[in-house]
Chain A
Amino acid sequence: MSISCATGKRTVSDPEVGLPSATGIWDSAHWAEREVFDQYGIRFNGHPDLRRILNHWQFQGHPLRKDYPIRNGQVCLETDSMEKEIRARLHVKGYDDDTISDINTEIMFLNLGPSHPATHGAIRILTALDGETILANVNEIGYLHRGFEKTAETLTYNQVIPLTDRLNYCSALMNNIAYVKAIEKWLGIEVTDRTQFMRVILSEFFRVQDHLVCIAANLVDMGGLTNYWYLYNEKEASYDFISRLTGARLTSTFTRIGGMYRDFHEGWEAELETQIQAIERGVSDSLKLILKNRIVHDRTQGVCILPKDVALAYGYTGPCLRASGVPFDLRKDAPYYHYDLFDFEVPIGSVGDIYDRIMIRFEEIFQSISIIRQAMKMIPDGPIFVDNPLVVLPPKDKVYNNIEGLANHFKLIFEGVHVPAGEWYDSFEAANGELGFYCVSDGSGRPYKIKVRPPCFYIMGGFHEMVEGAMVADAVINLGSLNIIGGELDR
């Protein structure tokens, strides 16, 4: 058994003996190692709190091992109390039993979630409170663990695409693109120019959608329901364009290895232009409501600050990292799909508070719209699929009229696209940050292993650093400003 990461690889001879923990070096290792322990049963010596993270505490065995039967579900009868963890965290924060009796009040333990309007999904935020101030916080995730990685091993590479829709379901098409980009990289396929531009236009359009939902929901948490109507109406209107293009509103499954499901329909430019104008209008209306709004300022400025170094230590990427002042964006730093041709800015925050996280998303909406407009001017005509019968299904008239076409079709459908043996990593700037796929292929048409590197997982891993010392009400809007999406958090 071996574990790997993008830069180094260690072989584990005995999972029980395990490996030394990296928690002393990177804070992000806290959750990452718990995940490896949970899924594979590999120990990490020196990890302060090595326990399950995605599966429930009553679960037996390690599902990502090849000998674990995929359908072997295990019932959870009761939720973990987590009392031990929150008490341990209180001690880490310096609240031992003496201080607790000193502050002359009893510490109250309060759960936000797993079913709570503030959590926008299912996350459990357990806080220890002195009055309304959060002294310590521990979080529990995994409530939406749906077994993406194990399920993917049973499917052909193209069949995995619908599963990727459901990672970050607010921007499903972006995940489709990120996934096929990773597979194409190892296959050594350069997709056609038209497809590259299509992917840019659609990525940016879905980045806008994702930010719209995030900001709308975040402002609702703050009590600004009007913004929800302004922002969500535009998202709803965009579904007309999206469903005409992909056939679905939310779960689009629009890419294929080597191309796209289909080309843009006739008249798409005018439709898209109307759509983005409407979005600009909605966003400007909403900005008018909040830019000079005292309540918004008081509740967000200087609240739940995340310093640069902490953000980096926890493996933050995307808007949340940039809000803390780190100018890292894969579209600029490791450009793909001609991103180097476009003229756009990467907005950076100066404080790293909730305000910065919200405002960066607003600005990114305008930048994405500008990229869409540039790409619409530049997109060339031409085929959307690469010319490679080992990867792309033959056209239907060949399948029906010609035995070679028929055989080719069958082979690709039943066996899948054969991907050369090896392991590789590829990443993509998704709406929430770096969405990466670490894949291992044994040369067959189905992945041997796929590990998703979701942006949210690491972002949530640093949540306690922002809210300890803040008020309960701040924790609620802070969570909204991070845009934690259960589908990619828990996979």
Chain B
Amino acid sequence: MALGLEAQLGDSVFTTRLDEAINWGRQYSLWPMVFGTACCAIEFMSTAASQHDISRYGAEVVRFSPRQADLILVCGTISYKQAPILKRIYEQMPEPKWVISMGACASSGGMYENYCTVQGIDTIIPVDVYISGCPPRPEAVLDALMKIQEQIKGETLLKDRHKDFRGILD
């Protein structure tokens, strides 16, 4: 039963906290920037295509411009040659922004423990959700997306989440 002000206003007005209203909007309209470098990006293509249909989660507006995106999906191996580019792209994304590391390579270097491969992108940029697999199935990508949505729900506007991050390129 509504109390106080809400009781007075009836069904026409709905009160909530600012954080909650904004987070609700952010959760269901994530604009992903796909940083696809290797095989994992092919599985992202499947995630976006009809059968798995990422638009069911409100995240189908895939943007290749970091300035129009708030979620970066790193799909594939990141080499040391690629690392400064990944960092630059991440920095170009406006706040608030979230990062998904898709697959073994992005998360840990995967099967490439060698002279050219970065051993996990979290040495370069902060990561919110990791997906295991080589490559992960599309369902796993959708699962990660839901985890990000879940995380966004509990966030507050006042906190800068990545202020203290320092990577190997900083």
A170 contacts across to B, CB distance below 8 A = 42
Chain B 34-73 near chain A by CB (<8 Å), digits 1 or 0: 0111110111011001110000000000001000000000
A146 with B114: CB separation less than 8 A: yes
- Assembly CA distance A150 to B113 (angstroms): 11
* Chain A residues within 8 Å of B, Cβ to Cβ: 54-56, 59, 63, 68-79, 114-117, 120-122, 142-147, 150-151, 162-163, 165-166, 169-170, 172, 213, 228-229, 232-233, 236, 239, 249-251, 486-487, 490
A249 with B137: CB separation less than 8 A: yes
Q: Provided the pairs A121-B38, A163-B111, A232-B45 are in contact, do residues A75 and B169 lie with their beta carbons within 8 angstroms?
A: yes
A236 with B115: CB separation less than 8 A: no
- Assembly CA distance A370 to B7 (angstroms): 73
Q: Provided the pairs A73-B119, A114-B85 are in contact, do residues A121 and B36 lie with their beta carbons within 8 angstroms?
A: yes
B89 with A115: CB separation less than 8 A: yes
Q: Provided the pairs A76-B83, A77-B169 are in contact, do residues A121 and B37 lie with their beta carbons within 8 angstroms?
A: yes
B84 with A79: CB separation less than 8 A: yes
A213 contacts across to B, CB distance below 8 A = 42, 45
B80 with A122: CB separation less than 8 A: no
Q: A78-B84, A121-B41, A233-B51 are in contact. List 11 more A-B contacts (CB 8 A).
A: A70-B115, A71-B114, A71-B115, A73-B80, A76-B84, A79-B85, A121-B36, A122-B82, A146-B77, A146-B116, A151-B112
Which chain B residues (109-142) contact chain A, with CB distance < 8 Å?
Answer: 111-119, 134-135, 137
B76 contacts across to A, CB distance below 8 A = 144
Within 8 Å by CB of B49, from A56, A120, A233, lies: A233
- Assembly CA distance A250 to B38 (angstroms): 12
Q: Provided the pairs A251-B135, A487-B39 are in contact, do residues A76 and B111 lie with their beta carbons within 8 angstroms?
A: no
Which chain B residue lies CB-closest to A165? B39
A142 contacts across to B, CB distance below 8 A = 79, 81
**Is chain A's binding surface mostly helix, strand, loop or mixed?**
loop
| CB<8 Å pairs between A and B, sample of 23 | A63-B116, A73-B114, A73-B118, A74-B80, A75-B80, A76-B81, A77-B84, A79-B84, A115-B35, A121-B38, A142-B79, A142-B81, A144-B37, A144-B79, A146-B77, A150-B115, A233-B50, A249-B46, A250-B39, A250-B42, A250-B135, A486-B37, A490-B79
A74 contacts across to B, CB distance below 8 A = 80, 115
B168 within 8 A of A: yes
**Is chain B's binding surface mostly helix, strand, loop or mixed?**
loop
A249 contacts across to B, CB distance below 8 A = 43, 46, 135, 137
B64 with A117: CB separation less than 8 A: yes
B37 with A56: CB separation less than 8 A: no
Which chain B residue lies CB-closest to A163? B111
CB distance from B44 to the nearest CB of A (A): 11
B49 with A75: CB separation less than 8 A: no
What are the 9 closest A-B residue pairs judged by CB atoms, nearest first? Answer: A169-B39, A117-B64, A147-B114, A56-B81, A232-B49, A143-B82, A146-B112, A76-B80, A147-B116
Which chain A residue lies CB-closest to B168? A75
- Assembly CA distance A142 to B85 (angstroms): 13
Which chain A residue lies CB-closest to B105? A146
CB distance from A74 to the nearest CB of B (A): 6
CB distance from B112 to the nearest CB of A (A): 5
B41 contacts across to A, CB distance below 8 A = 121
A144 with B114: CB separation less than 8 A: no
Interface centre among B35, B79, B85 (most CB of A within 10 A): B79
CB distance from A164 to the nearest CB of B (A): 12
- Assembly CA distance A115 to B113 (angstroms): 24
B85 contacts across to A, CB distance below 8 A = 79, 114-115, 122, 143
Interface size class of B (residues with CB under 8 A): 35 or more
Which chain A residue lies CB-closest to B123? A75
Which chain B residue lies CB-closest to A78? B84
Q: Provided the pairs A77-B84, A170-B42, A486-B37 are in contact, do residues A236 and B116 lie with their beta carbons within 8 angstroms?
A: no
- Assembly CA distance A249 to B118 (angstroms): 25
Q: Provided the pairs A56-B81, A250-B43, A251-B134 are in contact, do residues A145 and B50 lie with their beta carbons within 8 angstroms?
A: no
Within 8 Å by CB of A145, from B46, B79, B111, B135, lies: B79
B82 contacts across to A, CB distance below 8 A = 114, 122, 143-144
CB distance from A491 to the nearest CB of B (A): 10
A228 with B49: CB separation less than 8 A: yes
A150 with B39: CB separation less than 8 A: no
B35 contacts across to A, CB distance below 8 A = 115
Which chain B residue lies CB-closest to A68? B115
B168 contacts across to A, CB distance below 8 A = 75
B114 with A150: CB separation less than 8 A: yes
Q: Provided the pairs A122-B37, A250-B43 are in contact, do residues A116 and B64 lie with their beta carbons within 8 angstroms?
A: yes
- Assembly CA distance A239 to B42 (angstroms): 12
- Assembly CA distance A143 to B77 (angstroms): 9
- Assembly CA distance A172 to B116 (angstroms): 22
A75 with B79: CB separation less than 8 A: no
Within 8 Å by CB of B112, from A69, A143, A147, A250, lies: A147
- Assembly CA distance A117 to B44 (angstroms): 14
Which chain A residue lies CB-closest to B33? A115
- Assembly CA distance A250 to B140 (angstroms): 14
- Assembly CA distance A348 to B108 (angstroms): 44
Which chain B residues (17-38) contact chain A, with CB distance < 8 Å?
Answer: 35-38
A72 with B49: CB separation less than 8 A: no
- Assembly CA distance A235 to B68 (angstroms): 30
B49 with A229: CB separation less than 8 A: yes
A121 contacts across to B, CB distance below 8 A = 36-38, 41
- Assembly CA distance A378 to B77 (angstroms): 41
A251 with B137: CB separation less than 8 A: no
